[in-house]
Amino acid sequence: MALKLEQIRDRLRARFPEHIIVEDLNNMAALVIPQEIYHDVVWFLKSDEELDFDYLEFETCADHPPDLLAFVCYLRSLGHGHRIALKINLDRNQPSLPSLADLYANADWNEREIFDLFGVIFHNHPDLRRLMMPEDWTGHPLRKDYLHPNVVKRPD
């Protein structure tokens, strides 16, 4: 049976004492969870029978200089049909997270892409190399303050 976001939040709050809040994220409600319990939360979401989030849809980041780098991942339960967005606010200067590659196989390349373009370090990732840019590239192009000599600014 598909659970509502509030029910999912309440189940998480019953399990984890840390502060979990609901935030509106571009027309979709997201659970903002602390960085420390991120991997445990995803493990719980996947392994709990009523939640059963067995599919990692997507992982991405949003850059908010100067301090915030928001990591977002979308999970879906194919059996129950419910869906959730998790958001983790990272320190923009030293962003790091545990990898989800041990829970979801497709997290491997998603996280390589985020490492490549945003510079988030994923601990325990099996193969954290650049995915899109050349191997010897420096910098992370999707950061808002990224500068490169190849870039020609569009005239106003």
Partner 1 sequence: MGLIDNRIPVHMEKTPGGGVMMTRLASLLGKVPGVNAAVNEAKASSMWYMLFGLACCAIELMATGASKYDFDRLGMIFRATPRQTDLMIVAGTLTLKMAPRVKLLYDQMPEPKYVIAMGGCTIHGGPFYHDSYSVLKGVDKIIPVDIHVAGCPPRPEALMNGCLALQDLIRTEKLGHDRDRPGLRQITERQVPGMPPINHLPPGGALIRPNEIPILG
Tell whether the torsion through CA atoms of 36, 40, 46 and 49 is positive or negative. Answer: negative
Contacts of 156 (CB under 8 A, 6+ apart): none
Check binding of 129 to partner 1 (CB under 8 A): no
Tell whether residue 148 is a contact of partner 1 (CB under 8 A).
yes
Residue from 134, 138, 145, 156 that binds partner 1 (CB under 8 A)? 134
Cβ closest to partner 1, residue 49 vs residue 156: 156
Residues 110 and 129: beta-carbon distance below 8 Å: no
Total residues in contact with partner 1, by rule CB under 8 A:
13
If one asks whether residue 153 binds partner 1 (CB under 8 A), the answer comes out as: yes
Neighbours of 62 (CB within 10 A): 15
Cα 129 from chain centre: 18
CB distance 63 to 144 below 8 Å: yes
Contact between 17 and partner 1 (CB under 8 A)? Answer: no
Q: Which is nearer to partner 1, 78 or 153 (CB)?
A: 153
Question: What is the separation of C-alpha 96 from the centre of its chain, rounded to a whole number of angstroms?
Answer: 11
Q: Is 93 in the site for partner 1 (CB under 8 A)?
A: no
* Nearest approach, Cβ of residue 113 and partner 1 (Å): 14
- Indicate whether 150 belongs to the interface with partner 1 (CB under 8 A): yes
Q: What is the binding site for partner 1 (CB under 8 A)?
A: 132-134, 141, 146, 148-155
